[in-house]
Amino acid sequence: MNRAPAVTAGGSLTVPAIGFGTYGLNGLPALDVIRQAVASGYRLFDSAFNYENEGAVGAALRSASVPREELLITSKLPGRHHAHDEAIATIEESLLRTGLEYLDLYLIHWPNPGVGLYVEAWQALIEARERGLVRHIGVSNFLPDHLTALMEATGVTPEVNQIELHPYFQQETQRAFDREHGIITEAWSPLGRATDILQDPVLTGIAHKHQITVPQVVLRWHTLIGSVPLPKSADPQRQVQNLTVAGISLDEDDLAAIAALDRPAGRIWDQDPATYEEF
């Protein structure tokens, strides 16, 4: 059963309203967790070359109980392989690791502006899409300047920008830029990776008022602001809980209270893409 039937459109890509994060799910134990996620109703999966779990994600999804065409499988290019030929080899390697015939979505993981090769990496992703290795291409952690540079250099707009986004870091300006350019905004660490956000008294109060959980408040908020959250949970009950938010009615007071939680310095690990480098 697909518990997140709503979609967000951008360009030619349509994705479920909520996807599944796989960071930290590795090796054989990951297989059951990811198969369980499919059974829970997830269809959009997020992995990365650097998570070292493309093998587990691919194996789990190849043996999943739903047809391949219902699944959207994502991976990402690491910063150490932005140079064109290395990027192509890395995308090919991602695909081989998954054992799939194609990936649905491939992203540049971080812009790494100090390295300065993200336009070259983008040209490699465009080629990979033309060759059918990947069906859709996008970026992660890109700021407006980085996106503008890609679009001006190639004329090709990323279909997705996956960014840090949660009630303590709401990214209104970046979301508006993405929206204006038809780019889908996906949210990483949508639950703040279970840090103090889940104990926040404002969110706890809203959860109590609606007789739901704080993660449900937060995930419903994501879908209402047009963000596609990618919560990770290894727990089957939490997987279902996180996906069962479509019928929740947050009112104007709730939304105003959540909007007021935004903090200029709200990034969990202070990873500002203008300066942060991840290889």
Ligand X SMILES: NC(=O)C1=CN([C@@H]2O[C@H](COP(=O)(O)OP(=O)(O)OC[C@H]3O[C@@H](n4cnc5c(N)ncnc54)[C@H](OP(=O)(O)O)[C@@H]3O)[C@@H](O)[C@H]2O)C=CC1
Among 238, 246, 248, 262, binds ligand X (CB under 6 A): 238
Give one DSSP letter per residue of the chain, joined into a string.
--S---EEEETTEEEESS-EE-TT--HHHHHHHHHHHHHHT--EEE--GGGT-HHHHHHHHHTSSS-GGG-EEEEEE-GGG-SHHHHHHHHHHHHHHHT-S-EEEEEES---TTT--HHHHHHHHHHHHHTTSEEEEEEES--HHHHHHHHHHHS---SEEEEE-BTTB--HHHHHHHHHTT-EEEEESTTGGGSGGGG-HHHHHHHHHHTS-HHHHHHHHHHHTT-EE----S-HHHHHHHH--TT----HHHHHHHHTT--TT--SS---TTT----
- Residue ranges in 130-189 that form contacts with ligand X under rule CB under 6 A: 140-141, 162, 188-189
Among 95, 232, 240, 266, binds ligand X (CB under 6 A): 232
Residue 84 and residue 120 in contact, taking contact as beta carbons nearer than 8 Å = yes
Give CB contacts under 8 A, 24+ apart, made by 146-152.
146/111, 146/113, 146/118, 146/273, 147/177, 147/178, 147/181, 147/183, 149/118, 149/119, 150/118, 150/119, 150/122, 151/181
Q: What x-and-dash track marks residues 203-242 binding ligand LYEC3VGP by CB under 6 A? A: ----------------------------------------
Binding of residue 242 to ligand X (CB under 6 A): yes
CB of 51: closest distance to ligand LYEC3VGP in angstroms? 7
Residue 275 near which of ligand X, ligand LYEC3VGP, none (CB within 5-8 Å, type-dependent): none
Q: What x-and-dash track marks residues 24-63 binding ligand LYEC3VGP by CB under 6 A? A: ------------------------x---------------
Residue 235 near which of ligand X, ligand LYEC3VGP, none (CB within 5-8 Å, type-dependent): ligand X
Residue 149 near which of ligand LYEC3VGP, ligand X, none (CB within 5-8 Å, type-dependent): none
Q: What x-and-dash track marks residues 251-270 binding ligand LYEC3VGP by CB under 6 A? A: ------------------x-
β-strands 13-16, 7-10 pairing: antiparallel
23, 42, 51, 168: the active-site residue: 51
Q: Confirm or deny that 166 is annotated as ligand binding.
A: no
CB of 161: closest distance to ligand X in angstroms? 10
> Which window, 3-11, 111-119, 127-135, 237-245, contacts ligand X (CB under 6 A)?
237-245
Residue 269 near which of ligand X, ligand LYEC3VGP, none (CB within 5-8 Å, type-dependent): ligand LYEC3VGP
User: Is 51 known to be catalytic?
Assistant: yes
Which stretches of the chain bind ligand LYEC3VGP, using CB under 6 A?
23, 48, 269, 271, 278
Which stretches of the chain bind ligand X, using CB under 6 A?
21-23, 46, 109, 140-141, 162, 188-194, 213, 215, 230-235, 238, 241-242
Active site (catalytic) residues: 51
